[in-house]
Structure 1
Amino acid sequence: MFGLKKTPPIRTLIGEGTAITGEMQFVEGLRIDGEVKGDIVATGEGRSVLVISDKAKVTGKVKADHVIINGLIEGPVEATQLLELQPKARIVGDVYYGALEMHQGATIAGGLHPLKNEDDKPALKLASNNG
């Protein structure tokens, strides 16, 4: 879908009940089930994936190639390739995306800003519960 290749492995987990303050940088994959106060930015070469679970809360900027959100983010979100907003996703801040998939129930309190792709047309897919 959307020309993405194999998803990188998730090598790091911030578990439920864990709270971190400060900027986080990661390569490949990161899953957050806890709370982070600070920016989370993917670095390095290659693809990156960031998963924000329904139990997670992030206060700060979020940036990765592929971002999957089902929790709360208070701050701007940038997904250079694909942003997936699951039903419990809540974003308070502007959203920048290469392609966007949004499920019913997800909310955004901020602006939507498509990043330019080859055709200068943003890719948008509305997800349905019917598969």
Structure 2
Amino acid sequence: MSLFGNDGSKPRKRKPGVVDTLVGSNTEIRGDVLFTGGLHVDGRIKGKVLSTPGDAAILSVSEAGSIEGDVSVPILTINGQVSGNIYASDKMTLAPNARVTGNVYYNRLEVQAGAEVNGQLVHDPGGERAPASMHEMRGDFAVGDLRDVRDLRRPKVAS
């Protein structure tokens, strides 16, 4: 058994809503973040945040969390601050303390009393307005980098 409960011999089964990565309240990341699985932000990210193409990723931003940059992810819950355009291809929830400055492109949207959006809300059920396969948003990431991140989550099994 490894430190994190998976010895790498077989792929881990994903549970819905599981947080794989946590940006703690005393953490600030400067640069783009590319992730798979679940990401929870209690700290600050200054850069773009996006999930790998085809991944059923979940991003949550707590009341203490903030993101300064564009966000592209299938499922998103915000209770903190986001300054940048948002592309939520599946579902987006704006909790009571959510403060968004930028345009929001969504498929399904839940807005709770108290949430604020300073920008346009655009219904985008097919995700046509989202960056094409994240290529437009990914900045310095190369296509090979996207493939490598996905491969880390699914260890290769010898034939």
Mark yes or no: TM-score above 0.5. Answer: yes
- 1:45-104: CA deviation from partner (whole Å, max 9, x where unpaired): 331100000001110001110000000001011110000000000000000101000000
Aligned-pair distance for 1:44? 4.0
Alpha-carbon separation, structure 1, partners of 2:91 and 2:70: 16
Matches within 5 A, 1:1-131: 7-117=16-126
Question: Who is 1:127 aligned against?
Answer: none
Provide runs of 4+ in structure 1 moved above 4 Å.
none
Provide the identity percentage. Answer: 34
Alpha-carbon separation, structure 1, partners of 2:125 and 2:59: 21
Aligned-pair distance for 1:10? 1.2
Alpha-carbon separation, structure 2, partners of 1:9 and 1:45: 17
The TM-score with structure 2 as length reference comes to 0.68
Q: By percentage of residues, which structure has more helix?
A: 2
Q: By percentage of residues, which structure has more strand?
A: 1
Structure 2: segments with no counterpart, 5+ residues? 1-14, 127-159
C-alpha root-mean-square deviation of aligned residues, in Å?
Answer: 1.2
* Count of residue correspondences: 112
The TM-score with structure 1 as length reference comes to 0.82
Alpha-carbon separation, structure 1, partners of 2:43 and 2:17: 21
Structure 1: segments with no counterpart, 5+ residues? 1-5, 118-131
Aligned-pair distance for 1:116? 2.5
CA contact (8 A) 2:108 2:125 kept: no
